Amino acid sequence: MEIKNNGQQPLMYPVRLALHYRALARNRVVVAAGSGYTASIGSRQIVFISDGAIRRGDRVEASVAWPVLLDQRVKLQLVVEGRAAGIDEKQVTLNVERYQFRTRATPAVTFDLVWRKAPASELYQKKPALAARA
């Protein structure tokens, strides 16, 4: 069931979420890519602010960082495919043709390891606190 606003258009919810997009050619080659944020989301349209050049009629794939966790621990993204129906400066109206939720990768943890050269005799010496326990 779809909620109607004044009996005309589907409801649009004013939600601001981070978004990454790709404009695709017919052979699915990326012709433009960028990031932005959503201005409003509905069941058939997403309006977002972009930082790049999307033209009216372009096929667009957008990934929205979804604010709700799956099982209270897994990050999700809403992946939407559709056509750019309207462009007003940097505001893009995307007509949704298909969508799906996917799990979002968590950033890789990196460790800055500092290696120092030490004589082998120093590496194998027992520390005083450890020697007392042994």
Mean pLDDT along residues 85-95:
92
Inform me whether the pLDDT recorded for 132 exceeds 60: no
Q: Which pLDDT band, with edges at 50, 70 and 90, does 2 fall under?
A: very low
The residue to which tokens 């099982």 are assigned: 71
Domain ranges, ordered by start, for the chain:
4-133
pLDDT for the residue numbered 1: 37
Q: What is the pTM of this model?
A: 0.69
Look up the CATH superfamily of 4-133: predicted glycosyltransferase like domains (2.40.10.220)
pLDDT for the residue numbered 64: 95
91 or 8, higher pLDDT: 91
Q: Is 20 exposed, middle or buried (0-12, 13-18, 19+ CB in 10 A)?
A: middle
Distance CA 134, CA 128 (A): 10
Distance CA 43, CA 19 (A): 17
State residue 88 phi and psi, 5-degree precision. -130, 100
Beta bridge partners of 98: 81
